[in-house]
A and B are shown apart, each in its own frame.
Chain A
């Protein structure tokens, strides 16, 4: 069991938890929480792979910066989902995933 295996298994754990949440949650906010778990797992696996298997110093800097970009994307995604939740709540009155099933005009 190398360190890389251990860290990748930890990120797999985050992936599994996020997927379970993504499937069982009924509201959009619950989905947002699960997606954050998934993104955390992604960042952790990137940093672990870069940190424990780099042959030059440049690669692990690359890995850490990639994880920073993942964090930035997660922040942008959370902002947009907040706005979408607001719009859906205003329009339908509730935010369960099965309410958002109408196309404009119908």
Chain B
């Protein structure tokens, strides 16, 4: 039994290593296939993001968010970091989206009708104008600075990540566990029905 489990993990590790090897040399700008994959992921992100931002039904917006997360996970695969892609799927789609879905269900948003009205056209135009400020400010910097930096595509295994987590990034690692605990305790405290304290 123990042997089978260790064999399973060994083969899974081999599979992951092979995946990493096959993904290692791919970066858009150097390889045409990688560029095509990049374009597909950008399209997925664009479609999902537009749905998430513009959909009048919040459940549809959440499904758009899921599609966007999938696109970003593809970007992580393209960046030769498959572990991050898996974490993206697990944490964002598995946890955060479920939380958002709970929030939607608990607030009766769809029947409330607050989001079903379209915002005024001039509001949308002003929002687009405001959102275009960061690319206008940062776009030239990105374009100029990124051209100077040499590029490389290193391969690193999940074991290296774990080692880094327990050596050089030990303090942030411990801090984030404290933050998660505090967030969980705070959420329970907020949602707990206070007897007599809160006028509800």
Contacts and interface: CB of A to CB of B under 8 A. Distances in A.
Given A24-B127, A75-B95, A82-B102, A37 B53 contact: yes
Given A51-B81, A62-B164, A83-B191, A74 B53 contact: no
Nearest to A91: B200
B96 A36 contact: yes
Interface string A80-98: 1111111101110011100
A14 B45 contact: yes
Nearest to B65: A33
Contact of B161 (A64, A77, A80): A64
B88 A71 contact: yes
Interface centre among A30, A84, A96 (most CB of B within 10 A): A30
B196 to A, nearest CB: 14
A23 B131 contact: yes
Interface string B5-40: 000000000000000000000011110000000100
Contacts of B104: 29
Nearest to B158: A64
Contacts of A43: 72
A100 interface: no
A87 B191 contact: yes
A64 B74 CA distance: 15
Contact of A2 (B45, B119, B130, B151): B151
B26 to A, nearest CB: 10
17 contacts: A7-B79, A9-B139, A16-B131, A21-B53, A23-B123, A29-B107, A30-B115, A33-B58, A33-B62, A34-B53, A47-B76, A52-B153, A65-B169, A76-B184, A79-B184, A80-B183, A91-B199
Interface of A: 1-10, 12-21, 23-30, 32-34, 36-37, 40, 43-44, 47-48, 51-54, 57-58, 60-62, 64-65, 67-69, 71-87, 89-91, 94-96
Given A76-B182, A77-B183, 16 more contacts: A3-B29, A4-B146, A6-B29, A8-B142, A17-B49, A18-B49, A19-B131, A25-B115, A30-B58, A47-B81, A51-B153, A52-B27, A64-B161, A74-B96, A86-B103, A95-B107
Closest 3 CB pairs of A and B: A76-B183, A19-B131, A83-B187
Interface of B: 27-30, 38, 41-42, 45-46, 49-50, 52-53, 58, 61-62, 65, 68-69, 72, 75-76, 79-81, 83-84, 87-88, 91-92, 95-96, 99-100, 102-104, 106-109, 112, 114-115, 119, 123-124, 126-128, 130-132, 134-135, 138-139, 142-143, 146-147, 149-154, 156, 160-161, 164-165, 168-169, 172-173, 176, 179-180, 182-184, 186-188, 190-191, 198-200
